[in-house]
Amino acid sequence: MYSMYFGDERVPVVPEKITIKIKNQNKTLNLISGVEINTLRDAGLSEVSFDLLLPQVSYNFAPDSRAADYYLGLFEKLKTGKKPFQWIVNRQLPNGSPLFFTNLTVSLEDYQIIEDAGEGFDVKVRISLKQFRAYGTKKVTINSDSSASVTESNRDSSTAPEVTSYTVKAGDCLWNIAKKYLGDGSRYTEIAGLNKDKIKTPNLILPGQVLTLPAR
């Protein structure tokens, strides 16, 4: 049993196939000696592609589906809005037991609308997403003299106060939050239980939400 979200919008039908390309930026070089080497670099941005069915008529497997033009409007807004969003896929067994989920901060790179007589009145959309990685710049101040000093304060983690709340950031998921602050990723269900007023599904959390954390 799968479900897919674009931000807080659930799509009516999960694609039959999803391709996630995990890229790297490694580079192959030839040395003067003629030896070929591979230099290892930081991971590149992941790319996601799939075909999405948008029903135009009512189906038992998509009872809550909106009209296709609603989702097409959503995709256009995501494409032109110049803002990243959360793309989430939740995977569960038929009995409801969780398998694993994907939670990526992405941009909508492009989409193609495909109308095929073989699909009847339905519309198919070919989606291409790319992982978004936040970045920033650092301000460096250079003094006129050649001397410089750096002061760094280290905090003893053993005396650090226990974290009782957490503000969700882009790319977060409950499993990672539970693993980092509670020491066990499987305790994500406890976080979800304490924040039922904010979390409709454990697999959908949004940047800016302030979550209450249970005792470690």
**Domains in the chain: boundaries:** 1-29+37-133, 162-216
| Residue closest to 195 by CA, chosen among 182, 186, 181, 205 | 205
For the chain, give the number of residues.
Answer: 216
How many Å apart are CA 212 and CA 139, to the nearest integer? Answer: 34
pLDDT for res 178: 86
What local confidence, expressed as pLDDT, does residue 76 receive?
95
Taking only the tens place, the pLDDT of each residue in 193-205 is: 899 888 877 767 8
pTM, to two decimals: 0.62
Q: Tell the CATH topology of 1-29+37-133.
A: Pnp Oxidase; Chain A (2.30.110)
pLDDT at 118: 75
Q: For tokens 């997403």, name the residue.
A: 129
Handedness of CA 46, 49, 55, 16 (dihedral sign): negative
Q: What is the pLDDT of residue 71?
A: 94
Residue 186: the pLDDT is: 78
The list of the chain residues with pLDDT below 70 reads: 119, 136-163, 203
pLDDT at position 127? 96
Q: Where are the beta strands (DSSP E) in the chain?
A: 2-6, 9-10, 18-21, 27-30, 36-39, 47-54, 85-92, 98-114, 123-131, 165-167, 210-212
Residue 163: its pLDDT value, please? 63
What is the pLDDT at residue 176? 82
Instruction: From the options 3.40.50.300, 3.90.78.10, 3.10.350.10, 3.40.50.2300, give the CATH code of 162-216.
Output: 3.10.350.10
Helix (H, G, I), strand (E, B) or coil at 62: strand
Write the CB contacts of 117 (distance below 8 Å, at least 6 apart in sequence).
Answer: none
Q: What is the pLDDT of residue 146?
A: 53
